[in-house]
Amino acid sequence: MLLNQIALKYIDLGELEQAEEILAKSLAISKNLEEQTVQVNLLTNIAKQYAQIGQLDKAQEILELTVEIANSVEDKLTQGQLLLEIALTYQSLGLEDSSQTLISQSQTLISETQTITEEPPPVAEYPFQEERVEFSLGFGATISSFRDTTWNIGTNSNLYKQWSKSDLLINSSVSVSFDSSRAEDEKYRPSSFTAVLYRRHFNQDWHFAANLFAVTNQELLAAKNDDEDLTVIITPALGAGFNLWRGETAKESWDVQFFFSPRYEYDYIDFEERRNRVDPTLGIAFIGRDVKIGRATFNQIFVFGQSLRDSENLISTYNTTFSIPISKRWSFTNRLFLRFRNETIFEDNPKWNFYYTTGLDFKF
């Protein structure tokens, strides 16, 4: 305001009475302004000038008025900014207590506003951004010795590739176990697990799914696991999938898939072939990939399958991994596998089985 500038000139010339008269006129005009932001700016300047001519009490009175005006502003962000401006004016006048109170109040208002207006994280849009190949490799081992010596050593790998309209995930594990109590030609027992999941996206929500699950000698899926027993399961599956949730990348997702599979099962138990057949199967799968929980990453596959030929041939599996990063490339990974198999392959075979492992993964 021009009157403020004139008053400032009189102050510089030492003519304080003339300056005070002009400041009084400027104050009267400022009190009647409707625009609150402009009003606060002018009043804080007038308060500074009153302090310059030695009228600190008058300056404080004006600043108290500006606080009332600022608190009446509806927009919380603007209110916080105005209170911060007034706080800095108090500080320039040496009134630290009043300044700190207003600074704290303004910071709270600004922080709350930023929390409310914070935008949700971006969601990957179709067609997706092509990404480089991701590959990780993990190792684990156990050993024990008492009357018998047993050990198990294994490795697991994970490969993922994202294209603009499709992606491929390959997860596999291979292990070898040793037991000194086994027959001479059965002391070493290999096992393997492979999962291949391919998605061809039609749009943001729907995709075609082609999956393959293959296991050999896996205790978590076998009906029996003595030395000579053998279980082989091969499940190719085709179906349609729908996206339930997606994160910042196409890989970060929750999907539900409906599929058909010619499920092959082979069981050789107690020196006798118990099963060697293909079962047409309908199923549903819930698949979560790279779901972030804090710094950790959660992956899960839940599958429910029902044979079309035999109502008793029902199987359900739940495979989940929880990885906690400990450096840029190393992570601490925990895996839980649950299996339910309704059909009786031999007398008293267990219907439920669970398997838990923990170890380290290295990401290339």
Residues 113, 145, single domain; the answer is no
Residues 77, 138, single domain; the answer is no
CA distance from start to end of the chain: 65
Nearest to 78 by CA among 105, 109, 45, 104: 109
Residues 99, 188, single domain; the answer is no
pLDDT of residue 8: 59
**pLDDT of 136-158, one tens digit each?**
888 777 676 666 767 878 888 98
Rg, C-alpha atoms of the chain: 36
Looking up residue 243, the CATH number of its domain turns out to be 2.40.160.40
Q: In percent, how much of the chain has pLDDT > 70?
A: 87
The length of the chain is 364
Domain that holds residue 60: 2-117
The answer to whether the CB of 356 falls within 8 A of the CB of 321 is no
Domain count, the chain: 2
Assign 1 a pLDDT band (cuts: 50, 70, 90).
low
**pLDDT of 315-339, one tens digit each?**
888 888 889 999 888 888 888 888 8
Residues 99, 161, single domain; the answer is no
What is the pTM assigned to this prediction?
A: 0.63
Residues 304, 263, single domain; the answer is yes
Residues 27, 144, single domain; the answer is no
In a domain, 123, yes or no: no
Residue after which a domain boundary falls, among 83, 117, 151: 117
Residue type, 116: I
**pLDDT of 264-291, one tens digit each?**
989 887 788 888 999 999 999 999 998 9
In a domain, 129, yes or no: no
The answer to whether the CB of 342 falls within 8 A of the CB of 351 is yes
In a domain, 222, yes or no: yes
In a domain, 125, yes or no: no
Residue after which a domain boundary falls, among 67, 83, 117: 117
Buried b (16+ CB within 10 A) or exposed e, 239-265: bebebeebbebbbbbbbebebebebbb
Q: Where are the alpha helices (DSSP H) in the chain?
A: 2-13, 16-31, 36-52, 56-71, 76-92, 96-117
pLDDT of residue 159: 94
**pLDDT of 52-92, one tens digit each?**
888 888 888 888 888 898 888 888 888 888 888 888 888 88
In a domain, 81, yes or no: yes
In a domain, 317, yes or no: yes
